[in-house]
């Protein structure tokens, strides 16, 4: 018996097995880490594609400048068609909220633009009226009354109405300062 079996000789044989087991364990852990990393990459890519698709649909919705254009796009199905090509990789809830509020936003912008145009159109009439009011406030009634007969500035009917209803009876806050 060249090699008697003792606890020392048995231990040396087990150490070799232990190294192999450790190697296999390390290889398995490495494969698991690789799979986990790939899963994280896939999730990250999915999220990025979803964000890009959502931004593309939002840009499509926001390109319409009037309520009429937007309603025509809704009727034609252009927005829904774009979204259906993206499958689940788009934030449908967020897009739905944007679609619901977009028409109201466009209508509000159109109303504000119309009000501004009206304000600009009426500005020519307001300036002479303010001049007339300033004359009355300064006590220059005769000069204020001259605006009633002067038709060169636009709308003497408005001036007459203001002069008759409030001749001298308005305050400085009634004036529109520019």
10-residue averages of pLDDT along the chain (178 residues): 63 60 83 88 88 89 89 89 84 87 88 85 68 78 73 57 52 43
* 104 domain-assigned: no
* 176 domain-assigned: no
Q: In b/e form, how buried is each residue of 41-51, taking b as 16+ CB within 10 angstroms?
A: eeeeeeeeebe
Q: Contact at 8 Å (CB) between 154 and 124?
A: yes
* 71 domain-assigned: yes
* 148 domain-assigned: no
* 37 domain-assigned: yes
Label residue 170 exposed, middle or buried (CB < 10 Å: 0-12, 13-18, 19+): middle
Using the Cα atoms of residue 82, residue 85, residue 86 and residue 90 in order, give the sign of their dihedral: positive
Considering the entire predicted model, what is its pTM? 0.49
Domain containing 61: what range?
18-90
* Nearest-angstrom CA–CA distance, 170 and 148: 17
* 120 domain-assigned: no
Side-chain-facing half-sphere of 161: CA atoms under 13 Å: 4
Say which residues have a Cβ less than 8 Å from residue 132's Cβ, sequence separation at least 6: 144, 147, 159, 162, 163
* 53 domain-assigned: yes
Cα of first residue to Cα of last residue in the chain, in angstroms, is 117
How many domains does the structure of the chain reveal?
1
pLDDT of residue 159: 54
pLDDT of residue 124: 58
pLDDT of residue 177: 41
Label residue 57 exposed, middle or buried (CB < 10 Å: 0-12, 13-18, 19+): buried
pLDDT of residue 172: 43
pLDDT of residue 80: 86
* 137 domain-assigned: no
């Amino acid at each position: 018996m060249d090699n008697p079996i003792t606890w020392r000789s048995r231990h040396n044989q087990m150490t070799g097995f232990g190294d192999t087991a450790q190697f296999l364990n390390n290889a398995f852990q490495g494969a698991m880490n690789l799979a986990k990393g790939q899963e994280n990459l896939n999730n990250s890519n999915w999220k990025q594609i979803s964000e890009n698709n959502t931004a593309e649909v939002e840009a499509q919705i926001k390109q319409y400048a009037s309520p009429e254009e937007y309603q025509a796009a809704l009727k034609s199905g252009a927005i829904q068609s774009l979204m259906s090509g993206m499958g689940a990789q788009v934030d449908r809830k967020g897009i739905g909220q944007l679609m619901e509020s977009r028409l109201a936003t466009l209508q509000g912008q159109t109303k504000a633009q119309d009000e501004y145009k009206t304000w600009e159109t009426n500005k020519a009439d307001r300036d002479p009226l303010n001049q007339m009011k300033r004359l009355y406030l300064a006590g220059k009634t005769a000069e204020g009354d001259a605006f009633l007969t002067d038709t060169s500035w636009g709308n003497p009917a408005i001036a007459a109405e203001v002069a008759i209803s409030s001749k001298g009876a308005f305050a400085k806050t009634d004036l529109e300062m520019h």
